[in-house]
Structure 1
Amino acid sequence: METTGSHREIDLVASLKEGNEKAFELIYDRIAHRLYLFILKKVGIKETAEEILQEVFVALWNNRNAMDANTFLDPYLFKIAKNKIFSFMRSEHVRKKYAADFTLFIQKYSDNSLEEMMDVKDLHQVLHERIAELPDKCQTAFRMSRMEHATISQIAERMNISTRTVENYITQALRHLRTHLNTLTALFFSLFFIF
């Protein structure tokens, strides 16, 4: 990279660290397309690639204050993308594994009634409906924890609340779900989201 380019990138990072939205937009315009193509090549699903790309730039904005002033944006953003891709692939592997385990359980223990042989998507819908019954902040914390695999401290930082409050929200959500799900759906939930 030429010296002028280096200085321009240093200026962009400095402006970003100060919360300059225009700098953020310039970085997005410069790198987003290449980043998207890289992610798409790895995950093979357009919608997923778009979601991961969005997550990368959300992470860039949320973590801007922690960036080193001499950060080179390309390697920094591609590293974030690789981590997001890895998390996605790991969660997909886990979901597929437990979906297979759940199917075997149904085949072995079900009485073959229509209710118990519900499609996995139907069960997933029931779970999301029950989660939607929770207060907004409780829902947000729970979804971050169980669906985005965020840590308690990450959730606390993103929601600007204490880790104790996050733990209380998650406990409240789990108690609600255990109370309002039938036995079979509760088993499905435990396999997919781990109580």
Structure 2
Amino acid sequence: MKKIYSIKEREEGAWYQKWLYILFFFSAIVCGCMYSISMKENDILLFTINQYITVEYDQAEILNIFKNSLITYGLSFIIVFLGGLNKLLLPLSILGFFYTVFSYSFTMTCFLLLYGAKGIIVGLLIMGIQAMIIISLLIEVGHKGLKFSLCENSRDMKLYLQNLTRGGAILVVVSTIDSLVQPLLHYLALNII
């Protein structure tokens, strides 16, 4: 028999669920920064950054950029979404979210360590807006997945599946913007450095 929770208990549970993702968000940022700082050799940092900087864009590559963006963002989204389907899969959701934030934090810190203040500007140009949108989407889907998996109410499955549709539409829009604007921002970033 299911226990019926009072409104106060539900509000406290929702508060803890929100803070869980915020805690993992900040811990992933700190871990990404510390990991890049702990790498004493600039060769490794340069190798990481060169993956972003040395890419040359052609007009024919717009579809490839779109495809790669959609796969990269979609993989993180699917991992977080699937992790919210069941209590046993929740660690998968949290780890997928942690890894995504860790990667962005690591890359931004590499830009900062190698190029100083210019590195921050370049990092924001190359991945700033997309990162904010994707991380916001992952926080929202992760939080709803946490609520869904803890409630275990099959009626809420339809509402939870709406996250998949809404998130997919957001990913397509972000990937489209990424493929159209990224070559221009890349050129601007190269001129700043």
Q: Same fold (TM over 0.5)?
A: no
TM-score, scaled to structure 1: 0.28
Higher helix fraction (1 or 2): 2
- After TM superposition, the score normalised by the length of structure 2 is 0.28
Q: Highest relative contact order (Cα 8 Å, sep 6+), 1 or 2?
A: 2
